[in-house]
Amino acid sequence: MTNQRYVGMISLGCNKNRVDSELALGLLQERGWLFTGDPAQADVLMVNTCGFIDPAKEESIDTILEMAQYKQTGRCKLLVVTGCLAQRYEKSLLEEIPEIDLLMGVNQYEQLADAIEEALVSRSRPSLCAEKFDFFEHDRVLTTPSYTAYTRIGDGCDNRCTFCAIPLIRGHYRSRSEDRILTEVAKLARQGVREHILVAQDTTRWGTDWQEHTALPDLMRKAAAIEGVDWLRVLYCYPDETSEELLDVIASTPNICKYLDLPIQHVNDRILRRMHRRGTSADIRRCIRMARERDLTLRTSIIVGFPGETEAEFEELLAFLKEVEFDRLGAFAYSAEEDTPAARMPDQIPEEVKQERLDRLMTLQQEISLKCNLRRVGTVEKVLVTDRDDMGNILGRSQREAPETDGEILFTGNRIPAPGEFVNVKITRADTYDLMGEMV
């Protein structure tokens, strides 16, 4: 028992980061490391950081400092920091947080196990944050519930939105090979994963390495045909490459979730140009119209208070949201990111104005969300069981709720189904974000 070594992992940020964490855990498991959810019991603590916007950076730094305390109060001999913040702020982190023993970027995970072993012996504080853009292929240790998993189909980004630092951190866009994607989906299905979620910075870029337009529709057809794939979901589709073919595949394939995640950020054409977004307001409206014709649930993300946004342009955004009624919406006040073109724009919006606009937008969206949910009362939906709450309700999601971002369905039944089981639920009530029902 004395030679057993434990690693604890804290993974922050997006689900692409989560996939990196799972790959790292898979590599460490192969080397004989055991995992613990108790930081006080870990010999090595890893923090996989996010560096996307200021609140995410602050959370990452706070978590690093919190984990560093276990070098005094727990068993921790080595504090490892990886991910986007490490890639972007390598020197600053090493200078300002001496508790960090090993720093790794986003593309060096194949060196992780060797680097940990070396650092445990040498105490040399190695840093591995080179720009290297190959995909790291390895078995993963899932950190999601056993019935749900994310599969990354691409990395990096070529969109060069003026507000976004992702290309500075993860490099140019590159598609992961079809063979490796489909092999991973099939392997996960054999492990019992029932809901498969395809992710990338921009999933609709998949295949543009070798052809002019997206090859995502064909990939989704092939993935959905794999035995054991009960649900296939895709996130982060951009309007200009969201084709009628893609929407037809989503709408007509029984086990593909009728759900379109379409991050638009804004609708005013002048602001879209300043953001360097591909496509126009007309493209966005075209996508939404085609998606509504196919009865797809629509999710989007919005940035308010972008440099130069006038009150009239913000009101135009509100009017648009009221008109189209997105089922799901996430909104953010603009955050000026170092080394991005938008951060250098002269007409920055005061923080209090950004927050006031964000509050107004979210108040409107609460009304829209409730209205959309009420339309589902009386329907019977296929629900993936996820948990039970303290009140004894069974929790789950339909194909119209993505994990972690959307609401839940709370329901009762004459038996308690297991997590990962599919059941039919009649929706009887709705509130702003969640639905209530009875198993039928």
DSSP string, 209-228: TTSSS--HHHHHHHHHTSTT
Find, among 143, 84, 91, 134, the residue nearest to 110 by Cα.
134
Provide, rounded to the nearest whole percent, the portion of the chain with pLDDT above 90. Answer: 78
For residue 390, what are the domain limits? 380-439
Residue 141 in any domain: the answer is no
217, 192 contact by CB (below 8 A): no
Model confidence at 332: pLDDT above 90? yes
Length of the chain (residues): 440
Query: Structural domain tally of the chain?
Result: 3
In 71-162, where do the E strands start and end?
78-83, 102-104, 127-128, 148-152, 154-155
3-state SS, 324-362, equals HCCCEEEEEECCCCCCCHHHHCCCCCCHHHHHHHHHHHH
Query: At 384, is the secondary structure helix, strand, or coil?
Result: strand
Residue 200 shares a structural domain with residue 316? yes
CATH of the domain at 215: 3.80.30.20
Tell me whether residue 226 is in a domain. Answer: yes
Same domain, yes or no: 310 and 431? no
pLDDT at 1: 42
Note whether 352 and 414 are same-domain residues: no
Q: Residues 297, 400: contact at Cβ < 8 Å? A: yes
Cα–Cα distance, 301 to 291 (Å, whole number)? 16
Instruction: Name which of 66-70, 133-137, 209-213, 322-326 the model is least confident about.
Output: 133-137
Is the same domain home to 258 and 358?
yes
Strand partners, 199: 152
Do the domain assignments include residue 138? no
Give, to the nearest 10 degrees, the angle between helix 216-224 and helix 178-190: 30
What are phi and psi for residue 424, nearest 5 degrees? -95, 135
For residues 97-104, give the mean pLDDT: 90
Residues 309-324: tens digit of each pLDDT: 999 999 999 999 999 9
423 vs 54 pLDDT, higher one = 423
Question: Does 167 fall in a domain?
Answer: yes
Please give the model's pTM, rounded to 2 decimal places.
0.92
Residues 108 and 237 placed together within one structural domain of the fold = no
Q: Tens digit of pLDDT for each residue in 132-180? A: 566 678 899 999 999 999 999 999 898 899 999 888 888 889 999 999 9
- Per mean pLDDT, which range of 87-101, 294-308, 334-348 is the poorest? 87-101
The answer on 395 and 409 residing in a single domain is yes
Mark whether 171 and 71 lie in a shared domain: no
First to last CA, the chain: 49
Give the domain CATH number at 44: 3.40.50.12160
Between residues 84 and 358, the one the model is more confident about: 358
CATH of the domain at 413: 2.40.50.140
Regarding whether 285 and 175 lie in a shared domain, the answer is yes
pLDDT of residue 125: 64
137 part of a folded domain? no
Question: What tens digit of pLDDT does each residue of 264-275 get?
Answer: 999 999 999 999
Q: Which of 374, 406, 429 is the last residue of a domain?
A: 374
Average the pLDDT over 343-363 and give the result: 97
* Phi-psi map region of 391: left, alpha, beta (phi>0 left; psi -120 to 50 alpha): alpha
Residue 139 lies in a domain: no
pLDDT at 107 over 50: yes
- Of the candidates 330, 345, 374, which is a domain's last residue? 374
